[in-house]
Amino acid sequence: MEMFKTLIIILLSSVLVDNYVLSRFLGICPFLGVSKKLDQATGMGVAVTVVMLIATAATWPIQYYVLDALGLGYLQNIVFILIIATLVQMIELLLRRFSPALHKGLGVYLPLITTNCAVLGVTINNILDGYTFIESMVSSLGCGLGFLLAMVLFSGLRSRIDESNIPAPFRGLAVTLIAASFISLAFMGFGGIVENIFA
Amino acid sequence: MEILIAFLVMLAIALVAAVLLSVLSHFFAVEENPLKVQIRACLPGINCGACGYKGCDDYAAALAEGGVKPNLCIPGAQQVADQIAEMIGAESQPFEDKIAFVACNGHCEATFRKAKYEGVDTCRAASMLYGGDGACVYGCLGYGDCANACPADAICLIDGIARVNTARCLGCTLCTTTCPKNLISMIPQKTNTVVMCNNKQKGAQARKACKNACIACKKCEKVCPHDAIHVVDNLANIDYSKCTHCEACVKECPTGCLKTAVFPDLPEGIGHKELLG
C-alpha cells in the first residue's frame, strides 16, 4: 500500500507539479513546433511518451549494472544520448513501416526527439532521484503524460489564437510565447497539492 | 587502464546499437515503387498542391499506380508533363494551365445580408458565426480572405464577391484552401462554361437566398448532349472531361447560374491590395 501511494504521488507530481514543459522548461522545441494542430500534437505527445518509457527501461539497467558497476558514472550523459538516439531511430523505422500517416505528420520533429532534452532529462532525473526501476518507469510515464497534456492544451489554445484579432506587433511567435507563459503560470497553482494528497 | 574500460564499454554499447539498427532497417524496410521514385525525382518538389494531390510525393504515388493524367503539374509545365508521360508509357498530352474560379454570383443586387456583422473582418471569423452574415450560407462572404492570401494580387472584390483576374492568376491554389466556404476551385483555363453557384439548398430556399442561385431544375441535365452536366445535391456539376463548351445548358438555365465567359475583364493593372493602397 505504501509503495502504491508513492507511485501515485510520483505519477501525479510528474504530470502536474513538475511538468517537464511547463515547470522545468524542457522540450520546448516540439512544444512550440508541433502544437499547431491537435492530431499532430497528440501524435507527438504519444511518441515522446513511448520514447521516454523505452529510454528509461534501457538506461536504468545500464546505469546500475554497467556504468555504476564499472565505476564509469561520468559516462552517463554520453551513453544516455547514444541510447536515446538509437531508440528514436528504431521508432522512426517502425513508424514509417506501420503508420506512414503519423510518420509524415510528425515530419522533421520525429528525428528531433533524439535531441529532445525532456527525454534525456527524464532518464537522468530518474537516476538522480534514486528511484527504483518501477518508480522510474512510473515517473517517465507521468512525464510523458504531462508532455502530452501540455501539447494538447496548447494546441487547443493556439487554434483559438489563430482565430482572434491580434495586434500586429504580437502576431506569430510573440503571442505564442505569451500564451505558453500563461499556461505555465496556471500550472504553478498545482504546487504543493500532490505531496499532501494522502495526508 | 580505466580509460581502456571506458572506451570498451562505449564501443560495446555503440556496436550493439549499430547492429540493432541495421538489422531493423533491413527487416522493416519500406519498399517503394521504383517508378514512383523516378517520377518523384522528375517533379519540382515544391509541394504546391496545384495538381490536386497533397504534395509531389502523393502525386508521384498516384501516377505510379496509374489512371492519373501526367499533365497536372503546374510549376513543371509542359516539360515535366512530357517526361512523366514517357516514364509511365502514356501519350504526351498538352499541358493544361489551371486557374482559380469562384463559384458564386451572389453580388449585391442578387442577394442580401441577413444580419449586420461587426466582428473581425475576415471570412473565416464571419463564417464561424452562424455561417456568416449573407442570406446564402453557401455563398461568398466578401471579406477577402482569398484576396489577402493571393501572392499575385489576382483576386478583386467586386460588388461584394471575390473575382479572379485570370491574367494574373498563377494557379498556386492558395486561395482554394483559404476560403471557409470552399467556393474556389481550379478549372482548366480554356473553360468557358461554369456553374457560378455553390448553394446546395432546395430550389425555393436557394431562390429566396439569391436570385442567381442554382435551383436544381435539371433543365441543363436534360439538354446536355454530352452527358457532362449533372445535378448533385441540388447543384449543377460539370464534368470537364466531357464538356465541349457547346453552351446548350447556358441558353437553357432559367436563373443564369450557368454562364459562359464568366471571367470579368478586370484591368490587368488593378488588384485588391493595390486598391486598398
**CATH number for B248:** 3.30.70.20
User: Is the Cβ of A79 closer than 8 Å to some Cβ of chain B?
Assistant: yes
DSSP code per residue over B73-123 = -TTTHHHHHHHHHHHTTPPP-----EEEEE-----TTTB-BSS---S-SSH
pLDDT per position as a tens digit, B84-141: 888 777 777 777 677 888 888 888 888 888 888 888 888 888 888 888 888 888 989 9
* Domain housing B224: 193-260
Put simply, the answer to whether A89 touches B5 (Cβ < 8 Å) is no
In a domain, A2, yes or no: no
Q: Which residue has the higher pLDDT, B36 or B230?
A: B230
CA dist., res. B161 & res. B141, Å (int): 7
In a shared domain, residues B124 and B174: yes
Residues B140, B103 share a domain: yes
Q: Are residues B268 and B161 in the same domain?
A: yes
- Kindly report the CATH number assigned to the domain that includes residue B60: 1.10.15.40
B24 Cβ under 8 Å from any chain A Cβ = yes
Residues of B in contact with A75 (CB under 8 A): 6, 9-10
Q: What percent of chain B has pLDDT over 70?
A: 91
Number of domains in chain B: 3
pLDDT at A133 over 90: yes
Q: How far is CA B170 from CA A7, A20, B199, in A?
A: 60, 46, 27
- In the predicted model, is pLDDT for residue B237 greater than 90? no
State in Å, rounded, how far the first CA of chain A is from the last one.
14
Residues on chain B touching A93 (C-beta within 8 angstroms): 21, 24-25, 28
Cβ neighbours of B157 (radius 10 Å):
17
Domain annotation covers residue B12: no
Residue B29 maps to a domain = no
Most confident range (mean pLDDT) of A45-54, A130-139, B97-106, B176-185 is A130-139
How far apart (Å, rounded) are the C-alpha atoms in residues B72 and B93?
Answer: 10
With cut-offs at 50, 70 and 90, classify the pLDDT of residue B269.
Answer: very low
Yes or no, beta carbons of B20 and A90 under 8 Å apart: yes
Same domain, B83 and B199: no
In a domain? residue B23: no
Whose CA is closest to B70, among B46, B88, B48? B88
- pLDDT (mean) for B258-276: 54
Place of cell 502530452: A148
Q: Is the pLDDT of residue B264 over 60?
A: no
Residue B246 within a domain: yes
**pTM of structure:** 0.59
Q: What is the pLDDT of residue B248?
A: 84
Task: Report chain B residues whose CB lies below 8 A from the CB of A165.
Answer: 120, 125
Which domain, by its residues, includes A90? 11-193
Q: What would the pLDDT profile of A14-37 be if each residue is shown by its tens digit?
A: 888 888 888 888 888 888 887 888
Residue B176 shares a structural domain with residue B202: no
User: Is B92 part of a structural domain of the chain?
Assistant: no
B163 and B202 assigned to the same domain: no
Residue-level pLDDT at B277: 39
Could you give the residue ranges of the DSSP H alpha helices within chain A? Answer: 2-12, 28-33, 38-61, 76-98, 100-106, 109-112, 117-128, 133-162, 173-188
- The yes-or-no verdict on residue B276 having pLDDT over 70 is no
| pLDDT surpasses 90 at B249 | no
Q: Is A65 within the bounds of a domain? A: yes
Assess if residue A20 is contained within a domain.
Answer: yes
Do B140 and B107 lie in one domain? The reply is: yes
Amino acid at A76: Q
